[in-house]
Amino acid sequence: MTRYTPVYGTVSSITPLKNSALDHSCSLLISVMSESIGQVNFVVKSNTYVLDQHTFEQGDPIIAIYDTSAPVPLIYPPQFTAVILAENDDGYQAMFDYFNDDLLNTDETLKLNIGDSDSTDVLLPNGQSFFYTPGGNHLFVLYMFTTRSIPAMTTPSTVIVFCSES
């Protein structure tokens, strides 16, 4: 099973996250209304990756990805720490996972077709181009369609390469 899970929805509110009256932390709480699971809160820390450094506002369509192995408080609405956030105006699907050298994800449910065409932007988290095959790294992938094969195959529109430390 994939360790990271996306939530698709609409931003319903954004507030500073405070633990006390004197707290001036750099964290935010973004509330998202999801069609599939209802209201969900995401803690956004200063190290949360935000695609294109987008500043979210109420009503924005959003993809929020969280780590399913991270501890969470048992409260309602559920509250997760966001790993990745992206605006989703175009209705993309998203995945964040480790992809091997054959561009197949961990649970072998998605294979990426990235050729020499200009149809896929392969970038580093800082927005610079990545010039090699992205396999062997954690990848944040945005795509529209997949085949009905097993594994599903897609030509993503954007791939963000989170290079493995070696």
* Length of the chain measured in residues: 166
Q: How far is CA 146 from CA 27, 93, 112, in A?
A: 35, 10, 9
Residue entry with tokens 């009503």: 59
Q: What is the pLDDT of residue 20?
A: 61
Tell me the mean pLDDT in the region 73-99.
95
The DSSP letter of residue 104 is B
CA dihedral 93, 104, 156, 90 (to 10 degrees): 10
Q: What is the pTM of this model?
A: 0.91
Tell me the pLDDT band of 164, cut-offs 50, 70 and 90: confident
pLDDT in tens, 2-48: 799 999 999 999 999 876 666 667 899 999 999 899 999 999 999 99
As a whole number of Å, the CA-based R_g of the chain is: 16
The architecture in CATH of the region 4-87 reads: Beta Barrel (2.40)
Give the pLDDT confidence of 35-80 residue by residue, as tens digits. Answer: 899 999 999 999 999 999 999 999 999 999 999 999 999 999 999 9
Using DSSP bridges, classify how beta strands 49-50 and 79-87 pair: parallel, antiparallel or unpaired.
Answer: parallel
CA dist., res. 146 & res. 156, Å (int): 9
Identify the bridge partners of residue 132 per DSSP, sorted by sequence position: none
Query: Within the chain, which residue ranges are assigned CATH 2.40.50.140?
Result: 4-87
Beta bridge partners of 12: none
Residues 6+ apart with CB under 8 A from 26: 45, 46
Contacts 24+ apart (CB under 8 A), 72-75: none
Q: What is the pLDDT of residue 160?
A: 98
